[in-house]
Amino acid sequence: MEKTLKKENFNSLITGLKDKGYKTIAPKKDNNLVMLDEVQSADEIHLDHVQTNNSVKEFFLPKTEKILSYKIEKNKVSMEEPEGFAVKTVIFGSRPCDAASLPVMDKVFNWDCSDKFWVERREAITVVTIACDKCDSYCFCTSVNLAPDSKEGSDVLLTKISDDEYLVETVTEKGEGLIKELETVFSDPAGGTPERQIASVEKKFEIDKVKPWLDENFVNKVWAEFSTKCIGCGACTFVCPTCHCFDIVDECTMSKGDRVKNWDGCQFKMFTLHTSGHNPRSTQDQRWRQRIMHKFKYYVEKFDNILCVGCGRCSRVCPADMNISEMLEIIATEDNQKE
Amino acid sequence: MIEALRKKAEELLRSKTVDVVYGYGEGSVPERTRPVFITKPEDVNKLTWNKYCVYNLTTYLKKQEARKLGKPAIVVKGCDAKTITVLIKESQIKREDIYIIGVTCTGIGEPPATKCKACDVNTPLIYDELIGEKIENKEFSFDERYAELDEYEKLSEKEKWDFWQKQFAKCIKCYACSSICPLCFCDRCIVDKNQPQWIDPSAHPRGNLSWNVTRAYHLAGRCINCEECQRVCPADIPLNLLNKKLAKETEKNFKYRSGYNVDDELAMATYKEDDSEDIFK
Amino acid sequence: MENIYKPYLMNISDTIDEAPGVRTFRLNFLNEEEGKNFQFQAGQFALYSVFGYGESTFCIASSPTRKDYIECTFRQAGRVTNALRELNVGDTIGFRGPYGNVFPIEEWEGKNLVFIAGGIALPPLRCVIWNCLDLRDKYKNVTIVYGAKTVADLVYKNELKEWNARDDVNLVTTVDPGGETPDWTGKVGFVPTVVEETAPDSKDTIAIVCGPPIMIKFTLPVLEKLGFKQEKVYTTLENRMKCGLGKCGRCNIGCTYVCKEGPVFTAEEIGKMPDEF
């Protein structure tokens, strides 16, 4: 289904969503950042950015979430399951790369057994993406088989066709349902072929050359050379829309508590530290290698998908200017030779 | 200046005075530089110097991966050099184990970093070799030094609380603030200790408050105001406000400014009978 | 939808102190129905939780042939195992599992078995040892080589006596030099050396090795020398785990997720893994 949406109708869209019982998440300016966050009115929406600082990940896999509550009375324990975590929501105005991360992550959260916290949120949330009309030098979606107007993972895709109008394409049934629910907000296309304003994202490397190199180069001096500057924080993994590693911890008082799932990251030395003190990944180059290997080899072998959507957030945010696409360029242009 | 820097680095490497030079190199974009580790004299052209050299490279003194490269020469601005003074005072490094390439600096960042506004260390206070024309270091009054706190201090207690609640809510617990901090050198941070669990690991209001306050308090009287924590925070939390406030209280109560003089006794590690006790009120 | 992170509630029905800092719990399902439906196989592991402290990963130490209960043996080391140690009979713990792959004991039928364990690594083997002993007719010679630092550190002392008394089990116990007591009748020496001395016949024999990395490192070449093929040597690995379900992303060695594809591997499989142990 194709429709158009005028900017002047953003307000009726947001009001309409509210009336239909949706929570609305959209890009919002917050000092120096543009954050996907809950909005009440269209005035709060900020669209003049390349990329939001946070990704859509936190709405599906929150930075911290209860997975179990319990009460302890003497030596008896009673458990309670968290409820109401999946709220009917529309994410409006996230980028195609963010949306593309969702079907990729569906695989890990559903293989073998399903993580209901992910699955139920996925069902409750509708993703309305806006194709990128601009990009920056950190963007590399086109190098990982995506594009600034990719439809993967979106329920609805909006593409700018003039300063005040967007072309609306439904991608899934869920998206079509949403558009029908709010029919009056949208118009029918004027006819003819509208000029889509889509960013031109430079292709930086041949992704097909990455995995063959990784297959042969678990041991290579490039890992250490590239990562000496890495400070071992979790910024890259936390802003990444596809990094999904987590920790499980208990937090409680004497009589009641919660078991919570928290974001965790492979760049922390604690991530793999055994209680004995032994650490299979004790140095930063091993941890950096793990990040690249997980994204471009392990995940591919397991789930037939690259665990990267080229959003560039990790490189933008890195305290030491580690640039992932630069690493991949090095890999893709190295002779496929083991040292 | 860049030429002088490269020449010095080359000379130090050739003479084997040092094994590696921690310096600034070109970054991903023109508005960015990145830390580089030069081990070969022929690579010194990778070194650069410009207003985007924001990093406090002394943080790599705590990283085993950088230390593995051998004895370092470190390129430092005046602010960064103060770290070295603290690290020496806190027995983390020996003066003779590092070679300090001081660079004179008139401010970094675009727009210029807050710390540069009342900079009194345009010329580093400690160095082995100075690159750049020596600049007469300015002096600022107490009030001028802490001017960035003026607005904040006008807030009521409730407003301050609300302000920090809102700021800390953004924290994602990535620990970039402590990872980048050259003075956060504990091998196992308190946040990683779980017997007992001092700080809730979750990025919820309680966990975020206890983390951010603990981080700042552990730097009270130690922080040299390089502002690296604030620069790297992906959630844009004005961490330096906390650090600066604590620095101000330290100076007010103990007449101590961290990193200025290697002969000064550390404020938090030295007991004096006439120490102010107002701090406990 | 089922919550995959929700544990079973288990009652601690018995505790046995095995060695300094090492304790065994016997666990029963609080919900009998859950207990009836519960099945596992030798080699699998679980996440045991103390509410308020968190979860810890270790193997199921009892045999699946003993259906009324589950046993686990843990050493006090971290936050959760310290909290476990504080619990007593009648207390409730959480149990998530069974997870991971299994020892292929059916493939081993008709063969000789050599179990080699060091220190606290006997519990993962105890499960499969009892499993095979309870099906004793299906296997030929059974040899167990078990060593610990000191006599006190040997776990399952009563069962060692029991195995020693059986004439269908060849038990060889050893302690590290200096770890012996005046009345110690076992061997003195490190496990790899004792394995070499014991020299089990490698023909038609499966070796199952479990112990600290250093023991495994020196035992594997000994087995090779004795003629064991790598695919006939099994071990069980542990890595830090949080979910046990192949999602949390930390227990991998290269492409291999220890929680799903392991914890049981042959020496041949381990040999193909990248050096990231």
Using CB atoms, list chains with 3+ pairs below 8 Å to chain A. B, C
Q: How far is B202 from chain C (nearest CA, A)?
A: 13
CB–CB of C243 and A297 under 8 A?
A: no
Closest Cα in chain C, distance from residue B195 (Å): 6
Q: Are residues A19 and A156 in the same domain?
A: yes
The predicted pLDDT at position A244 comes to 98
CA distance B56 to chain A (A): 10
B204 Cβ contact partners less than 8 Å away, ≥ 6 residues apart:
A64
Structure-token match 């859950």, residue found:
C34
User: A70 at the C interface (CB within 8 A)?
Assistant: yes
Q: For chain C, where do the domains classified as CATH 3.40.50.80 start and end?
A: 112-236
Query: Domain range spanning residue A233?
Result: 207-333
Q: Using one digit for the tens of pLDDT, what is the confidence trace for A305-325?
A: 999 999 999 999 999 999 999
Residue A300 inside a domain? The answer is yes
Q: Nearest chain A Cα to C249, which residue?
A: A245
Shared domain check, A176 and A37: yes
Q: Is A198 among the domain residues?
A: no
CB–CB contact A248 C52 (8 Å): no
Same domain assignment for residues A231 and A172: no
Identity of the residue in A228, A231, A235 whose CB atom sits nearest the CB atom of B59: A231
Q: What is the pLDDT of residues B84-119, one digit of tens each?
A: 999 999 999 999 999 999 999 999 998 899 999 999
Q: What is the pLDDT of residues A27-78, one digit of tens each?
A: 999 999 999 999 999 999 999 999 999 999 999 999 999 999 999 998 899 9
Tell me if A107 sits within 8 A of A152, measured CB to CB: no
Quote the CA–CA distance of C99 and C109 in Å, as a whole number: 24
What would the pLDDT profile of A101-122 be if each residue is shown by its tens digit?
999 999 999 999 999 999 999 9
Per-residue pLDDT at B110: 87
Instruction: Dig out the tokens for B93 from the structure.
Output: 């490094």
* pLDDT, average across residues B140-162: 96
Mutate to test the interface with C, among B188, B191, B194 (most CBs of C within 10 A): B194
Half-sphere CA count of A229, side-chain side, radius 13 A? 23
Å from B68 to nearest chain C CA? 20
Whether the CA torsion C109, C114, C119, C121 is positive or negative: it is negative
Residues A231 and A161 in one domain: no
| Pair (A154, A216) in one structural domain | no
Interchain CB distance below 8 Å, C245 and A113: yes
In the three-class reduction of DSSP (H, G, I as helix; E, B as strand; rest coil), residue C27 is classed as strand
Q: Are residues A160 and A271 in the same domain?
A: no
Whether residue A225 is found in the same domain as residue A295: yes
Q: E strands, chain B, where?
A: 20-26, 33-38, 72-76, 99-103, 129-131
The C-alpha atoms of residue C247 and residue C99 are separated, in whole angstroms, by 13
| CA gap C58, A289 in Å, rounded | 28
Which chains border C (3 or more CB–CB pairs < 8 Å)? A, B
> What pLDDT, in 10s, does the model give residues B2-52?
999 999 999 999 999 999 999 999 999 999 999 999 999 999 999 999 999
Q: Where in chain C is the domain with CATH 2.40.30.10?
A: 8-99
For A271, nearest residue in chain B (alpha carbons): B192
Percent of chain B having pLDDT more than 90? 90
Q: In this complex, which of C52, C77, C94 lies closest to A275 when CB atoms are compared?
A: C77
As a 3-state breakdown, chain C gives helix, strand, coil percent values, each rounded to 5, of 25, 30, 45
CA of C242 to nearest chain B CA: how many angstroms apart? 14
- Residues of A within 8 A of C13 (CB-CB) are none
Cβ distance of A275 and C81 shorter than 8 Å: yes
**Mutation choice for B interface testing from C50, C79, C80 by most B CBs within 10 A:** C79
Q: Which residue does chain C place closest to A218, by CA atoms?
A: C274
Residues of B with CB under 8 A from a CB of C: 194-195, 197
The answer to whether the Cβ–Cβ distance between B234 and A268 falls below 8 Å is no
Chain A interface, best mutation among B22, B28, B110, by max A CB count within 10 A:
B28
Closest residue in B to C83 (Cα) is B195
Closest CB to C249 among A79, A119, A245: A245
What is the rounded distance in angstroms from the CA atom of residue C72 to the CA atom of residue C122?
11
- Tell me whether C260 touches chain A (CB under 8 Å): yes
- Our count of domains for chain A comes to 2
Q: How far is CA A150 from the centre of its chain?
A: 14
Residues of chain A positioned with their CB less than 8 A from the CB of B239: none
User: How far, in Å, CA of A100 to CA of A293, rounded?
Assistant: 20
Beta pairing partners, C155:
none
Q: Which residues contact A253 (CB under 8 A, 6 or more apart)?
A: none
Among B193, B197, B198, B199, the residue to mutate for chain C (most C Cβ within 10 A): B197
Residues A14 and A41 sit within 8 Å (Cβ to Cβ): yes
The count of residues in chain C is 277
A164 with A50, same domain: the answer is yes
Judged against a pLDDT cut of 50, whether residue A339 lies above it is answered with no
A219 shares contact with chain C (CB less than 8 Å): yes
Residues of chain C with pLDDT under 70: none
pLDDT (0 to 100) of residue A308: 98
Tokens in use for C43? Answer: 């080699």
User: A284 to chain B: which residues are within 8 Å by CB?
Assistant: 63, 65
pTM of the model: 0.96
φ, ψ of residue C180 to 5 degrees: the values are -85, 160
Helix (H, G, I), strand (E, B) or coil at A180: helix
Task: From A153, A185, A217, give the residue that closes a domain.
Answer: A185
Q: How far is B176 from A267, CA to CA, in rounded Å?
A: 11
Looking at the DSSP bridge assignments, the partners of residue C148 are C175
Q: Are residues A237 and A106 in the same domain?
A: no
Q: State yes or no: pLDDT of A338 exceeds 60.
A: no
Q: What is the CATH number of domain C112-236?
A: 3.40.50.80
* pLDDT for the residue B281: 59
> Which pLDDT band, with edges at 50, 70 and 90, does A194 fall under?
confident
Closest-CA residue of B relative to C54 is B194
**For residue B271, pLDDT beyond 60:** yes
Centre a 10 Å sphere on the Cβ of residue C263 and count the other Cβ atoms it contains: 25
The answer to whether the Cβ–Cβ distance between A257 and C51 falls below 8 Å is yes
Quick check: is A274 in a domain?
yes
Within this chain, do residues A223 and A176 fall inside the same structural domain, yes or no? no
Q: Is residue A191 part of a domain?
A: no
Q: Give the per-residue pLDDT at A190.
A: 84
The closest of B110, B108, B142 to B122, measured between CA atoms, is: B108
Q: In this predicted structure, what is the pLDDT of residue A335?
A: 67
CATH of domain C8-99: 2.40.30.10
Please determine, for the modelled complex, whether the ipTM score is greater than 0.90: yes
Asked if residue B204 has pLDDT above 50, the reply is yes
Position B275 scores a pLDDT of 81
Whether residue A202 lies inside any domain: the answer is no
Report residue B129 as tokens: 């070799």
Q: Which two tokens stand for residue B189?
A: 């941070």
Residues A139 and A250 in one domain: no
Contact residues on chain C for A109, CB-CB shorter than 8 A: 247
Boundary (domain end) residue, out of A123, A153, A185: A185
- Name the residue in chain B with its Cα closest to that of A286: B65
- Within 8 A by CB and 6+ apart from A3, the residues are A167, A168, A179, A186, A187, A188, A189
Asked if residue A225 and residue A177 are part of one domain, the reply reads no
Please tell me the distance in Å from A20's CA to the nearest CA on chain C. Answer: 25
Evaluate whether A310 touches A140 at the Cβ level (below 8 Å).
yes
The token pair that represents A281 in the structure block:
């990944």
Nearest to C243 by CA among C73, C57, C76: C57
